[in-house]
């Protein structure tokens, strides 16, 4: 178990923002596949990669969608990443023409494990921190290493007190 650096800042992502950023990722990946620009399949890194992978698959009209499950974090503490479910290797092969999608790269350890599994795949994330950035082929937004990204599925709308009280 490695205790991670403290996260001084929070970056809170709404569904709307995630949708726009995942669409931007699809836009960037479009036409980059090896078969006349097309991609054969999408593999989502569960669980955080599933929503962005769905949006990318929809935008790029990719109907073959699979998952790879990597377990490493327990809340904000990281252990060695372990692949606990692989995609269908008959379909995915060495990853040629396959897009692997995750919500973010932080230390890059999750993607390192995935890349060993599918060395020829194109790996893309919506958000990237500097440490993991070299591990991904494509990303949309960089956030600093001391920032924790909060995704819409981790949050709920709640009341916020006004700056100036009336009582």
Ligand X SMILES: O=P(O)(O)OC[C@H]1O[C@H](OP(=O)(O)OP(=O)(O)O)[C@H](O)[C@@H]1O
Contact set with Mg ion (CB under 5 A): 48
Burial class (CB in 10 A: 0-12, 13-18, 19+), 35: exposed
Shortest Cβ distance from residue 80 to ligand X (Å)?
10
Shortest Cβ distance from residue 33 to ligand X (Å)?
23
Q: Identify whether 103 is a catalytic site residue.
A: yes
67 and 51 Cβ atoms separated by less than 8 Å: no
Question: What are 25's two structure tokens?
Answer: 């990722």
Q: Which is nearer to ligand GUN, 104 or 124 (CB)?
A: 104
Q: 122-128 and 138-142: which strand pairing?
A: parallel
Q: Identify whether 35 is a catalytic site residue.
A: no
Does 111 bind ligand GUN (CB under 6 A)? Our answer is no
List the one residue from 58, 67, 73, 133 that touches ligand GUN (CB under 6 A): 73
Distance CA 167, CA 165 (A): 6
Interacting residue ranges for ligand X, rule: CB under 6 A: 45-48, 72-73, 78, 102-110, 132
Indicate which residues carry an active-site annotation: 102-103, 106
């Amino acid at each position: 178990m490695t205790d991670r650096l403290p996260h001084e800042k929070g970056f809170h992502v709404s569904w709307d923002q995630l949708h726009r950023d995942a669409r931007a990722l699809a836009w960037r990946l479009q036409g980059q596949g090896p078969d006349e620009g097309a991609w054969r399949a999408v593999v989502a890194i569960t669980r955080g990669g599933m929503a962005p992978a769905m949006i990318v698959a929809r935008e790029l009209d990719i109907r073959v969608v699979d998952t790879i499950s990597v377990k490493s974090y327990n809340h904000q503490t990281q252990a060695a990443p372990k692949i606990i479910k692989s995609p269908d290797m008959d379909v995915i092969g060495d990853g040629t023409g396959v897009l692997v999608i995750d919500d973010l790269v932080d230390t890059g350890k999750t993607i390192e494990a995935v890349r060993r599994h599918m060395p020829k795949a194109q790996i893309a994330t919506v958000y990237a921190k500097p440490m993991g950035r070299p591990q991904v082929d494509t990303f949309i937004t960089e956030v600093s290493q001391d920032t924790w990204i909060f995704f819409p599925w981790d949050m709920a709308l709640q009341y916020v007190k006004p700056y100036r009280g009336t009582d």
